[in-house]
Amino acid sequence: MDLTDEQWRLIEPLIPVPPRRADGRGRPRCNPREVMNGILWVMRTGAAWADIPSRYPSSSTCHRYFQAWVKAGVFVQILNVLAEDLYARGQIDLAVSTAHLCQPKRGHRRRQNQAWQREQDHGNCRLLWPSYRHSRIECFAA
């Protein structure tokens, strides 16, 4: 279930074009639409980055783009636009849609306390993409 042409037209202007090297060296850039589809596949399935199917760019490429987009604040905008599109088409019923970035918890207790902390932070909300702990959209059914 990849992005539709309509969805891609909505988010394409949000994706920054990386600058070319002055000397013209380096590998050609991946298609950002394929990268986004790979990222959304990981978020939708909850699989590890290394398990991305071969129809998408490599896991390291998808993860590198994802990290850059999160750091630049682009990914939150993309998730908001996609959630608003789903709402406008009646495929998701939202009372409130907020996207935010969470700092990862550090230390060995993270895995032990992660489920409890998520419940404390967010209550019993439904996370649209629950597999990634750094960036998510909270969706409260109306």
pLDDT, the chain, mean = 75
- Read off the pLDDT of residues 7-24 as tens digits, 9 standing for 90 and up: 899 999 999 888 888 888
- Read off the pLDDT of residues 44-56 as tens digits, 9 standing for 90 and up: 898 999 999 999 9
20 inside domain:
no
Concatenating the DSSP letter of every residue in 11-51 gives HGGGSPPPPPPTT--SPPPPPHHHHHHHHHHHHHH---GGG
Structural domain harbouring 124? 5-12+30-141
96 inside domain:
yes
Angle of helix 74-88 relative to helix 59-72, nearest 10 degrees, comes to 90
Is pTM, for the whole model, over 0.75?
no
How many distinct structural domains can be found in the chain? 1
68 inside domain:
yes
